[in-house]
Amino acid sequence: MITNINYNHLYYFWQVSRCGSIAAASKILHLTPQTVSAQITSLEQRLGKPLFIREGRGLRLTDFGQVTVQYTNDMFAIAEEWLETTQGDIAQISQTLKVGISDVLPKSLVSKWLSPLIDNERITNLHCIDGQQDELLALMATHKLDLVLADKPLDNSLLFKAFCHELGKSQLAFFGNKHWHQQLVANFPQSLHNQPVVLPAKGSPVSRAIYFWLQELGIEVTVAGHVDDSALMKALGEQGFGVFPAPMLVKAEIERHYDVHFIGTIDNAYQHYYAFTPERLIKDTIYAEFVKYAQMNQ
């Protein structure tokens, strides 16, 4: 078992991996290149495995070096975050909550979930960022987000520890503007045959469920477009590009805000909702309260 690792040496390795060379890292570290090189050699000897392969004047990470970089990225990102707390009011820092929101989630539903956080006296700053689930989880991995809301469960290939909380689900339905409502509502779902639909991204759980449902019914549709952003998909539906799916949970809000109408439900097709939190303790009680509230407000 390896013990007594010199973390200064590990930090030098991390800087070299980021800078791409010992010479560039030595300037940041304010050490001579010879010193940095010797310290990394000492670390490699301690670990019993090489971290870099020398290629001419450059360096290339070994497989073990690439694995080590992933761990050091997390270690020193947390260290830098902690150091930031020494520069300000700890109460203010702990009252800032950074939330990532997947583009596919209905914003009216998300705002309902977040409302207790806005009114929570322990949260004075709520920062929200929209994006795709993979991008948001990458931000969480580097400690730039405290909470991620999305429609897909965690991937087993995730390289950092996170908790997945299932918030609930909602049956899906098709909506359309006045023209498409009049055309399709009477004989739904057969009326969808050869008609234009706007769907989420091809590989999304919602699109897969809808394609399966249509296939079972023997209905072929014309895909007018795949759109990741749920708000844009609804706006295109309002303009008449085609009918679009949305959760029944926000039926009233969709009809009111986008001047569209409910056409019919999609059997056995649901949008699921998840909250992801990192393995950190400072806001655990707030996470628990948020998850409980969101699960109750479905």
Encode 85-98 in three state secondary structure: HCCCCHHHHHCEEE
**Helix (H) and strand (E) counts in the chain:** 12, 10
Q: Taking the model in full, what pTM does it have? A: 0.65
Whether pLDDT at 282 is above 90? no
Do the Cβ atoms of 266 and 188 come closer than 8 Å? no
- Mean pLDDT check: name the lowest of 112-116, 119-123, 270-274, 292-296: 119-123
Query: Which tokens in the block code for residue 81?
Result: 């975050």
Is 274 strand, coil or helix? strand
pLDDT of residue 171: 95
Q: 270: which strand partners?
A: 171
Choice between 116 and 16, residue whose per-residue pLDDT is larger: 16
User: What average pLDDT does the chain have?
Assistant: 85
Cα within 13 Å of Cα(290), Cβ side: 28
pLDDT of residue 184: 96
Mean pLDDT of 215-227: 94
Residue carrying the six token digits 């997947």 = 102
Distance of CA 167 to the CA centre of its chain: 15
Q: What DSSP letter does each residue of 163-205 carry, written as one string?
A: EEEEEEEEEEEEEE-HHHHHHHSTTTTGGGTT-EEEES-TTSH
pLDDT of residue 281: 46
Choice between 298 and 135, residue whose per-residue pLDDT is larger: 135
Q: For residue 199, give the nearest of 230, 170, 171 by alpha carbon.
A: 230
* pLDDT tens for each residue of 118-148: 776 667 678 889 988 888 888 887 778 888 9
The pLDDT confidence band at residue 94, using thresholds 50, 70 and 90, is low
Do the Cβ atoms of 246 and 105 come closer than 8 Å? no
Whether pLDDT at 273 is above 50? yes
Residue carrying the six token digits 């979930």 = 113
Characterize the bridge pairing of strands 244-247 and 147-150.
unpaired
The pLDDT confidence band at residue 87, using thresholds 50, 70 and 90, is low
* pLDDT tens for each residue of 192-202: 999 999 999 88
pLDDT of residue 133: 87
pLDDT of residue 188: 96
pLDDT of residue 280: 56
* pLDDT tens for each residue of 49-85: 999 988 777 788 999 998 888 888 878 877 766 665 5
Query: Which tokens in the block code for residue 46?
Result: 């301690």
Percent of the residues in the chain that have a pLDDT greater than 70, as a whole number: 87
Task: Measure Cα distances from 12 to 42, 69, 85, 186 in Å.
Answer: 11, 12, 23, 70
How open is the CA angle 281-167-140, to the nearest 5 degrees?
Answer: 45
Residues 6+ apart with CB under 8 A from 206: 104, 151, 172, 199, 200, 245, 269, 271
Query: Which tokens in the block code for residue 65?
Result: 């070096």
Question: Which of the listed ranges 31-40, 82-91, 141-150, 176-185 does the model predict with the highest average pLDDT?
Answer: 176-185
> What b/e string do you get for 229-264 counting C-beta neighbours within 10 Å, with b at 16 or more?
bbbebbbbbbeebbbbbbbbbbbebbeeebebbbbb
